[in-house]
Structure 1
Amino acid sequence: MHPHTRAIVAASAHAIVTGQKVAGLYDHAAGQHLRIAAECRGDRVQALDGGRQATFGGTLPELHDAGDKSFISFEVDGSTVRGYDRGSAGFYVAEVRDGVVQLFDQSESTWFAFTMQVTDQR
């Protein structure tokens, strides 16, 4: 999974699980803040990767990354999101807790952490 894909999946997972709007995030592995926004209303997700100027979203359980022209599946179970990135042919698991998303990228066999910046609005 590409690093930018992990980040937008993490932001989207947080928006889906918490109902909060993500206004940005900090990628601990990269050591940088990323301009990524995401929100979820019902089963519709919309997100924007400001660094790539690429949209991401659609209707759950399949979301589309317009920049990579690929689909990513999302299966929500409480605070856990699982899915498959068709672009890299890899599975992932994301755990959402207290403003942090920990994402396990199976193709890398590694956990990645993202701290969310959220707006006050739901």
Structure 2
Amino acid sequence: MLPHIRAMVAAAAHALIIGRKVAGIYDHAAGRHLRIAAESQGIHLQGFDGDRQAKFGGSLPELYDAGDRSFVSMEIDGATARGHDRGSSSAYSADVTDRQVQLYDYGERAWFAFDVQVA
């Protein structure tokens, strides 16, 4: 998965599982804060990646990234989100807590950590 898709997935998973508005993400792998916002109502999500000036969102199980014009599937099971990035043909799993998302990217065979700022 591309780094910005991982960050989008982390923000989306947090908004959908925790149910609070995401106001920003800190990407530990990149070592920087990302201007990503997301909010959900039930299975519906809307978000914006300010660094790329791109909207993302939709209704589960499919989310659309307007910047890349690609889809990411997502299923929620408790505090875990799982799915597939159609752009990179890579699967992922994300474990969500109150202020953090730990995402495993099967394509990269690596874990990525994101701290979440809530509104």
TM-score, normalised to structure 1's length?
Answer: 0.96
1:98 to partner: Cα distance? 2.8
1:97 to partner: Cα distance? 1.2
Tell me what 1:109 maps to. 109
Contact 2:92–2:103 (8 Å) recurs in 1:
yes
- In structure 1, stretches of 5+ residues that fail to align are none
CA distance in structure 2 between the aligned counterparts of 1:32 and 1:90, rounded to whole angstroms: 24
Aligned-residue sequence identity (percent) comes to: 63
Tell me what 2:41 maps to. 41
Measured on the aligned residues, the alpha-carbon RMSD in Å equals: 0.5
Structure 2 SS opposite 1:72: strand
Tell me what 1:91 maps to. 91
Letter in 2 for 1:68: D
TM-score, normalised to structure 2's length?
Answer: 0.99
1:62 to partner: Cα distance? 0.2
CA distance in structure 1 between the aligned counterparts of 2:98 and 2:66, rounded to whole angstroms: 29
Q: Say whether 1:52 aligns with 2:61.
A: no
CA distance in structure 1 between the aligned counterparts of 2:76 and 2:98, rounded to whole angstroms: 17
Contact 2:18–2:98 (8 Å) recurs in 1:
no
Aligned residues: 119
Tell me what 1:12 maps to. 12
CA distance in structure 1 between the aligned counterparts of 2:88 and 2:47, rounded to whole angstroms: 20
